[in-house]
Amino acid sequence: MTLQITQTLDARGLSCPMPIVKTAQAIKTIPSGGLIEVLATDPGSVKDFAAWSRTTGNELVEQTTDSGVFRFVLRRK
Amino acid sequence: MTTPTLERPITPVADPIATAVADVDGWPEAASETMAEAPAKTKELVIVDWSGDLDKIWPVLILSSTAAASGVRCRVFVTFWGLLPFVKDEKRIVGENWMQKMLTLMQRPGIDHLKLSKMNFLGMGPWMMGTLRKQYNVASPRELLEAATALGVEFIPCQMTMDMFGLKREDLIDEMGEPAGAATAIEIMTEADASLFI
């Protein structure tokens, strides 16, 4: 089953804390229950997105890595 | 000898445990009421931003913008040297008297003119830091300040410092909140879940 992504945010090349800051701003534009996909290259984002998901309650649905690019799928609370 | 008679007929009890629980005074009604009345409190972070140095303003802005991005209410009490980076770009020398003017002549105010707390080397340090920042695509203090204010971080200037430095409300960036004093800082720090002095 493929996930229905509402929006994709390209945060590749950005370093801490901008991937999180931009995700927080972008997730507000999608409806509750909608999915946002974030692409990042900051290795710290792996731990940071998990922490951000716990703090905010926006569920981290999927997390994959493909040749140095981390992909996170989050569901808006 | 007489046969004892029952004063009232025995009625079958549906659930003895539920009955026992209902007999306990104020429970579970009171308990469920308290639970329903207490909504999840928003977490709060307070930072006292004392230093005007690049290497200290940076973490203040990174932590405050990340807190706001994480749904944590963040307030920054800006005091002493910390106030100078919050002076508007177009202001070069601020203050009422020569001593206050001298202060901003020696330390240029504004978010783009920060010095390092160590290894400043007459500006070589901050220049190298800026070059490394661009090389590694790290957000600048200006970008972080814009993100922080957009996300709703509240910056509270210290009234006493403003008086002593001769800073007027219009000298500071428009995003700053209303000036306040130490009692306000203490109140918000003691009510917050975490507070930092940077």
In a domain, A23, yes or no: yes
Q: Searching chain B, which residue's CA lies closest to the CA of residue A28? A: B69
Among residues B63, B66, B106, B62, the alpha carbon closest in space to that of B84 is found at: B106
Q: Treating both helix axes as pointing N-terminal to C-terminal, what angle do A18-27 and B141-150 enclose, rounded to 10 degrees?
A: 30
Chain centroid to CA B167: 23
- Cβ(A17)–Cβ(B59) below 8 Å: no
CB-based contact A17 B151, cutoff 8 Å: no
Residues of A in CB contact (< 8 Å) with B are: 13-18, 20-21, 23-25, 52, 55-57
Specify the DSSP class assigned to residue B193.
Answer: S
pLDDT value of position A1? 58
In a domain, A2, yes or no: no
Which DSSP helix (H) or strand (E) runs through A10?
strand A5-11
pTM of the entire predicted model:
0.81
pLDDT value of position B36? 55
CB < 8 Å to A56, chain B: 70-71
CB-based contact B69 A25, cutoff 8 Å: yes
Per the structure block, which two tokens stand in for B97?
Answer: 């008297």
Is the pLDDT confidence value at B8 over 70? no
In a domain, A63, yes or no: yes
pLDDT value of position B35? 53
In a domain, A59, yes or no: yes
In a domain, A28, yes or no: yes
Those residues whose C-beta lies under 8 Å from the C-beta of residue B195, and which sit 6 or more positions away, are B45, B46, B47, B48, B188, B189
Those residues whose C-beta lies under 8 Å from the C-beta of residue A20, and which sit 6 or more positions away, are A45, A48, A49, A52, B66, B69, B70
The CATH number covering residue A27 comes to 3.30.110.40
Could you say which residues of chain A have pLDDT below 50?
none
> Within a 10 A sphere around the Cβ of B43, how many other Cβ atoms?
15
CB < 8 Å to B145, chain A: none
In a domain, A62, yes or no: yes
Given its phi and psi angles, is residue B60 left (phi above 0), alpha (psi -120 to 50 degrees) or beta?
Answer: alpha
Q: What is the average pLDDT across B104-133?
A: 91
CB < 8 Å to B66, chain A: 17, 20-21
Q: Searching chain A, which residue's CA lies closest to the CA of residue B60? A: A17
This model of the complex carries an ipTM of: 0.85
Tens digits of per-residue pLDDT, B66-81?
Answer: 999 999 999 999 999 9
In a domain, A1, yes or no: no
In a domain, A50, yes or no: yes
Count of the separate structural domains present in chain A: 1
Using CA atoms, how far residue B73 sits from B76, B148, B192, in Å, is 10, 11, 9
CB-based contact B137 A17, cutoff 8 Å: no
Q: Searching chain B, which residue's CA lies closest to the CA of residue A77? A: B71
Per the structure block, which two tokens stand in for B56?
Answer: 């200290």
Q: In terms of residue numbers, what domain contains A53?
A: 7-75
